[in-house]
Amino acid sequence: MPRLPKFRDTLINTRDLLVTGGPFVLIALALLVLAYWALDPTPPKKVTLATGPEQGAYAEFGQRYKAHLQRFGIEVELRATQGSSENLKLLQDPKSGVDFAFVQGGAGRLRRNDEGPPPDLVSLGSLFYEPVWLFYREAAAKEKLGSEQLESLAQLKGWRVNIGAPGSGVTNLMLRLFDANGLAPQDLVVQRLGNTPAVVSLFAGETDALVYTSAPESPLVQMLLLTPGIGLMDFAQAEAYSRRLPVVSPVLLPRGVVKLGEDVPAQDIRLLAPTAMLVAREDAHPALQQLFVQAASAIHSGAGWFQRRGEFPSLLGSELPLAKEAARFFQSGPPFLQRYLPFWLANLIDRMWVVLAGVIVVLIPLSRVLPPLYELRVRSRVFRWYARLRQIEEGLADGLDHARGAQPLMNDLDELDAKVKQLQVPLSHADELYALRSHIDLVRKKLRALGAQTPNPTVS
């Protein structure tokens, strides 16, 4: 029982604080909810990634991205396509549901004088080299050129050349390379077969040459490299091409890299290589963009036939503007908080801290009003009774009703005193309560003194 008054005082203080600070808390919560709604810091749990033909490099890498993002609770739906051109169309179509895609460098434009890169798309970096593999039948070269060696794209005039299925990125790139050599599409017999049908056609003698752009680990590429009678064009002018077309880089297929024991290839072969890019819609959630860039770093940073460890992902060969999240990653690596906190929490803090700082700046001036309001509320609980006390005291000054005596004013004063005794205020304001009660006693003494001087009307 002795602890009851202290507990009661605590409840009173808490109630006063809640009533005084309640509006402030509601304003703070409203600002936070508004900021959360405006920023939308939590990314969607499902995203669609456009890859490429089945059993191709893009499809294989898509599976790795899916596994990587699954660790962060993000489900990646893979959309099989014909290649880069189709991927670009899907990215530019909001109704397609595709937010990310693999795109070959140079796939965004057909000619040198075309308009700029597709709008509303950003690059998350280049991922790996995709060499241009121009395979041809050596018999066709001997028949048309008098030599089994194909040395220039300009020599393809009149050849039956497969430049990829509709929607593939190699088509646009080859048209640009043909254009650089003064070849128009009508100068060739252009075929548009898929990868596997094109190989069958080449072996059947219905195609003279075919072009792939693919990672060297592609089974079709390695098979053609080992097939007798099938040659691989050496781009002797690789450096010149790279100066004319910045989307391609000169790379070297080292002697013996395919099969060291059999010395395949028998000499170094110069190739052109665009880079595969990871492209996103500009309005894709920033947190997802950050996760995809991190996945690219984990998946593509190793060494390969054409790149050294750590060379990719990079800014090499991109025709698209770099996404802000990618620039942030290349400059400082993963966000600091993600190294120590779960992704959802680190992302929430990372996306909200600027707004939180702004909310705090707004709330600080408001918070300075709270102590005066709290004090005013507590003191008003005491001071409002002074008005009634003054009325009683003014009754003294105006003179007593001699017919009734001082008793009515005394009754009013006793009623006021009873109510004041029930007041509960924090200990820090107890002096004001006791001051009120002492003033009540002072008025009571005046009433008693004045009442003693007033004759009793009942006495004759």
CA distance linking residue 394 with residue 86, whole number of Å: 93
pLDDT of 36 reads: 60
pLDDT at 456 exceeding the cut of 60: no
Q: 180-221, pLDDT tens digit by residue?
A: 899 988 899 999 998 889 999 999 999 999 998 887 767 788
pLDDT at 326 exceeding the cut of 50: yes
pLDDT of 418 reads: 85
pLDDT at 4 exceeding the cut of 60: no
pLDDT of 145 reads: 92
Q: List helix spans (H) across 193-323.
A: 195-203, 219-225, 238-244, 286-300
More confidently predicted of 373 and 330? 330
pLDDT of 355 reads: 66
pLDDT at 153 exceeding the cut of 90: yes
Instruction: From 287, 261, 278, 272, select the one nearest 234 (Cα to Cα).
Output: 272
Domain map of the chain by residue range?
372-453
Handedness of CA 415, 421, 424, 426 (dihedral sign): positive
More confidently predicted of 148 and 345? 148
Q: Which two tokens stand for residue 417?
A: 């005193």
- Rg of the chain over CA atoms, in angstroms? 42
pLDDT of 307 reads: 84
Q: What mean pLDDT is reported for the chain? A: 81
Kindly report the number of other CB atoms within 10 A of residue 71's CB atom.
Answer: 10
More confidently predicted of 398 and 129? 129
Q: 106, 248 in Cβ contact below 8 A?
A: yes
pLDDT of 400 reads: 54
* Lowest-pLDDT range of 11-25, 69-83, 422-436: 11-25
Instruction: From 302, 312, 299, 310, select the one nearest 273 (Cα to Cα).
Output: 312
pLDDT at 107 exceeding the cut of 70: no
Q: Is residue 37 exposed (0-12), middle (13-18) or buried (19+ Cβ within 10 Å)? A: exposed
pLDDT band of 119, cuts 50, 70, 90: low
More confidently predicted of 275 and 138? 138
The whole-number average pLDDT for the span 372-380 is 74
CA distance linking residue 189 with residue 206, whole number of Å: 11
Q: 410, 444 in Cβ contact below 8 A?
A: yes
Instruction: From 253, 33, 256, 312, select the one nearest 135 (Cα to Cα).
Output: 253
pLDDT band of 459, cuts 50, 70, 90: very low
* Lowest-pLDDT range of 3-12, 155-164, 261-270, 356-365: 3-12
Measured in residues, the chain has a length of 460
More confidently predicted of 321 and 383? 321
CA distance linking residue 159 with residue 90, whole number of Å: 33
Which residues, in sequence order, are bridge partners of residue 334? Answer: none
188 in helix, strand or coil? coil
Q: Which residue has tokens 């008054």?
A: 5
DSSP label at residue 51: -
Which residues, in sequence order, are bridge partners of residue 135? Answer: 210, 232
pLDDT band of 35, cuts 50, 70, 90: low
pLDDT at 402 exceeding the cut of 50: no
pLDDT at 413 exceeding the cut of 80: yes
